[in-house]
Amino acid sequence: MARRRRGRSGDGGSREWIFRAACREFAGRGFAGANVDRIAAAAGVNKAMIYYHFKSKAALYREILNDMFVAVAARLDAMASAHTTPEGKIRAFVEAIAREAEARPHFPPIWFREIAEGGTHLELATMKIVGGIVQRLAAMIREGIEAGRFKPVDPLLVHAGIVAPVLLYYASGDLRKRLTRAGLAGADSFGSDDVIAHVQRVTLGTLEGKM
């Protein structure tokens, strides 16, 4: 442990080392389970530095939450603009969630825990960004309906059908390993690309009303 990834290119100094170590700590142990001493050790800085850069453990956590959704929204816009058809946009939405989960491995577990906690730590600004993400998907569906290619389906049901399985896949990596080690049908039979393709197929099938 201790002293990780200092001196790497793209490093923003102690503040960023702390931020990254905190992402891992909160993802692995949750807000209450996370330990400031451990974050400091993993970041390779003194504990007092955390309070120099951040107001509190809670403020640090809230900043991570906000960063997650800012990144998702940005990636969503970047990927969606490359597609013109409603189908392409839906595919891009699914892939954007998955790619963001890969870029920020703390995203799925932290979000799962925060959902379980009722979103207690979400700032208003962050909630608005979360709302905007759902609205982007709703707009894609509306567009597809107007183009006569999609049947009307509740956007939140579609959203859940995409985000829940994709994030579950990324959040459950350790659990699946553990189940496999225990001699159970752990299933390493597929990878992230299979998950993405499957969710894209299921989602479009639902929207195109082929069932």
Residues binding DNA (CB under 7 A): 13-15, 34-37, 45-49, 51-52, 56-58
Residue 42 lies near a second copy (rule: CB under 8 A): no
Closer residue to DNA, CB minimum distance, 36 or 138: 36
What is the amino acid identity at position 187? A
Q: Which two tokens stand for residue 150?
A: 């999609």
The helix (run of H) or strand (run of E) holding residue 168 is helix 155-171
For position 143 contacting a second copy by CB under 8 A, the verdict is no
Task: Please check whether residue 165 is in contact with residue 206, taking contact to mean a CB–CB distance below 8 angstroms.
Answer: no
Contacts of 209 (CB under 8 A, 6+ apart): 150, 151
Footprint of a second copy on 57-116 (CB under 8 A)? 108-110, 112-116
In whole angstroms, how close is the CB of 126 to a second copy at the nearest point? 10
Residue 94 touches which member of a second copy, DNA, none, C-beta under 5-8 Å by kind: none
Decide if residue 2 touches a second copy (CB under 8 A): no
What is the 3-state composition of the chain as percent helix, strand, coil, each rounded to the nearest 5?
Answer: 70, 0, 30
- As measured in angstroms, the least distance from the Cβ of 48 to DNA is 3
Applying CB under 8 A, among 134, 139, 142, 143 the residue interacting with a second copy is: 134
Cβ atoms < 10 Å from Cβ of 64: 22
Figure out which of the listed residues 19, 31, 69, 93 binds a second copy, where binding follows CB under 8 A. Answer: 31
How far out from the chain centre does Cα 157 lie?
18
